[in-house]
Structure 1
Amino acid sequence: MNESIKNELGKLLVNQEALLDVLAKSHSSLNDYPELQDYLARKNPNVVNYNRALREGQFTKQEFLDEIGERLNWLAYELQPHIDMDFLTERVASLVGGDIEKIKALTIEEIGADLLSKLVNLYGGALYSIQQSKPSYPFLATKGQVDHAFWKQSHLAYDAWSDGYQSHYKLTNYCQDKFDCKAPQSSVRFFRQFGDPRDIPEWREYAGFDDN
């Protein structure tokens, strides 16, 4: 350590406010100092703004958690192509047969805690295997079934979604009437996150789309 570095470190050590600002930017490195970690979390400007919004009634804590849950649902959907979920499909199929609507009412006990625990572990492993810079598009999934009849026409489904068919129920009825296929449950989330498929180069190549 040269003198210049020592001088900068010395200035930081004697200036507690500056030191706290630096530490706040590396919050996860303070796991061994929980009280300091908690203090810095409360000092974070975004946390201050969050608490102010709560006090002013802009949203409730539950509404905030609901938004987090919605985002986590989408992230879990993005990870699905990286996970072999045949074991889960087989279990659910043994419970509901050909009645897909019954899936919505399945409980933890019915699916099985062991299977769900296995699924969570698989998600954990998949988190480290994906590259964040490359979105996982459902039409390019390598595992599971891809409804090519829908995804190759998803630009038209997007137009319908933009025109007001924004619930999955309305959109799938529209697609059945116009394209003789159903809209996947994930399609509405896909449109919300990625927008028009025509703006995605990977989709244009996949669908052989040419707007000329």
Structure 2
Amino acid sequence: MEVKLSQKAQAELGTLMVNTPDLIHLLSLLPKENLSEYPLLQKELTSKHPNSRSYNKALKNKTFTKEEFRDRIFARLDVFAYEMAVNLNTDYLVERVSLIVGADIARIDELEINEIGADVLQRILTDLSTDVCKQIQPKGDHPFLAERGRIDHGFWRHADKAYNAYIDGYNTQASLDAWCQLNLHTRCPQSFIRWLKTYGNPKEIAEWMSYVA
């Protein structure tokens, strides 16, 4: 496969190619399946990485155990999950739990998976998984934050209304465009439906909420 790069991109690639430590570090962070054709390289990228060696040395010296290291990771993931969850619409979860415990808030600590329900837990986990992608998506991918080109702020500041119209059945470009002209007095961008299929409700996107604040 031939890829044509700009001169600046070629220069950056050249710098990376001659800077072996940086290149090795980047390769070590790739998903393993991306290096499946290079098993020896894949193995040594991990085993000979300075951080892998320092980690194994700490285990050997009993600075901490593997379980303690794992638990610290999970504790950090708990923080990530909470910070994302409080910004999601979780009314369905609150409603389910309230039906089980009523006013006995202390009982929440004793709930079992089957009491909350696999369907509810799967939904919250799916929502969190989707939100992870939104969190790491470059801001420039949101049209209303683009630094170049013409931005129709008259539309994007009311993207939540266009989203509701889409949910209500105006789910083709032509019908949604007609709705926007009638109700928002502007056209619906060609990219909007594709954008909302990726990101969902604008009101659940932190960047959009900051944009309209």
TM-score, normalised to structure 1, is 0.50
TM-score, normalised to structure 2, is 0.50
